[in-house]
Amino acid sequence: MDVRKEWRQHRSPLISTMDMTAYGAPLVPAHHTAAELTTLVGLLTEQGKRIGTVAVGHSRDEPSRAAAEAFTVTWESCGGTVLTVVDWPESAASWLRPAVRLTAALPDAWVMAAAPLGFAQLARRLRHSTDWDPARTYAFAALGDPGLPALAGDRTLHGLRGATADGGSWEVDHHSVTVFPPVAESGSAP
């Protein structure tokens, strides 16, 4: 048996100090916008989706906390259920506790409001240690950062999608983030 292969399978998914340094200083996300929140809820309620329960995660900075709270209030006012709200620090020795708490209730989807660096660490732990699926995860604008897929690592975020501050959307496709402009309103009521 190849001892190095076995070690790689069981090593910590923490981002190396060198990769964190190359990414740059941790940034605090901008405050969310009404258009961003509307688009995020729209992504979760698109025709054909059966999302009723969500787990909400956020980093501990004030804009992320406020975005998570605004989403929770909006989602519940639309008849959805928030199973849990989990926060995490921007740096930690272990990301296992928040990862387990986010996935324990088996939500239909996850909603994230976070600074990119801390979320990259959490996402690596989620992929390494739980059944979390980035394709069932929706996020605020800060996680549409084009450097995030490389920081999080190969296939960690494939399928993650979210809203932009102007009401557009974005999606992670393997190593890149594709941004889509806001959808023009037709002018007629649904």
Range(s) of the domain holding residue 166: 30-180
Does residue 22 sit within a domain?
Answer: no
Q: Specify the pairing of strand 161-163 against strand 169-173.
A: antiparallel
Does residue 84 sit within a domain?
Answer: yes
Tell me the pLDDT of the chain averaged across its residues: 86
- Average of pLDDT values for 116-128? 91
Alpha-carbon distance of 15 to 123, in angstroms, equals: 11
- Residue 56: closest CA among 79, 92, 32, 87: 87
CB atoms under 10 Å from CB of 143, counted, come to 28
Q: In terms of residues, how long is the chain?
A: 190
Contact present, 116 and 145 (Cβ < 8 Å): yes
Does residue 109 sit within a domain?
Answer: yes
Does residue 127 sit within a domain?
Answer: yes
Better-scored residue on pLDDT, 28 or 23: 28
| Pick from 13-17, 121-125, 145-149, 177-181: least confident | 13-17
DSSP per residue, 165-180: TTS-EEEEETTEEEEE
CATH of the domain at 117: 3.40.50.2300
Q: Look at residue 18 and tell me whether its pLDDT is greater than 70.
A: no
Q: Look at residue 15 and tell me whether its pLDDT is greater than 90.
A: no
Alpha-carbon distance of 16 to 20, in angstroms, equals: 6
Better-scored residue on pLDDT, 6 or 19: 19
Tokens of 13: 């998914």
pLDDT at 25: 55
- Average of pLDDT values for 161-171? 98
Does residue 19 sit within a domain?
Answer: no
Q: Let me know the angle formed at the C-alpha of 33 by 27 and 34, rounded to the nearest 5 degrees.
A: 160
Does residue 53 sit within a domain?
Answer: yes
Contact present, 29 and 114 (Cβ < 8 Å): yes
- Number of structural domains, the chain? 1
pLDDT at 155: 86
Looking at the chain, the whole-number percentage of residues with pLDDT higher than 90 is 67
